[in-house]
Amino acid sequence: MLNYIQVPLLLEWNDNHSSPLTRHRWHAYAGLTLGLRIHAHQKTVFTQTGKDFELVDTATGHVVASAISPGDNKSKVHDNFDLQPFKAEATVGVGRVASFYRRYYVDKMVDIPKRFVYLPLDTDMVGTG
């Protein structure tokens, strides 16, 4: 789980034309959203406690590690997980009653050289009243 404090810097355009047939007006927006990571943790839930289990690499099928599940059925690891402390997202959206928007991470999310660069692309919908 990741928690960020975010500040959106968006420019919005609203359609000023209305008629009896179009009760809701169109709007579009674009801009940048900046964020600061304040918390990160990973939660693991075990269905069987005190049992042997193996971690298997899905790409190769080899066993990476063996361990015994803890006595508690939930385990949390608090770490930064090599994630960047800041994030920047380019955001565009359009809508009428519901807004559809896309977010693209401008900077790489993971701070690990020589590994994959994860640049998520988000699509979502928000309803308005």
pLDDT in tens, 10-51: 999 888 766 666 666 788 999 998 999 998 888 888 777 778
pLDDT at 30: 94
Q: What's the pLDDT at 128?
A: 58
Give the C-alpha separation, 28 to 89, whole Å. 17
Q: What's the token pair of residue 95?
A: 């809508």
Q: What is the pLDDT of residues 36-92, one digit of tens each?
A: 999 888 888 877 777 888 888 888 888 888 888 777 778 788 888 778 888 888 888
Fill in the amino acid letter for 96. R
Nearest by Cα to 35 from 66, 59, 4, 14 = 4
Q: Which residue has the higher pLDDT, 71 or 1?
A: 1
pTM across the whole model = 0.59
- Mean pLDDT, residues 95-115 taken together: 73
The residue with greater pLDDT, 80 or 129, is 80
Residue 80 CA to residue 104 CA, distance in Å, equals 21
Instruction: State how beta strands 86-95 and 74-78 pair.
Output: unpaired
Whether pLDDT at 115 is above 60: no
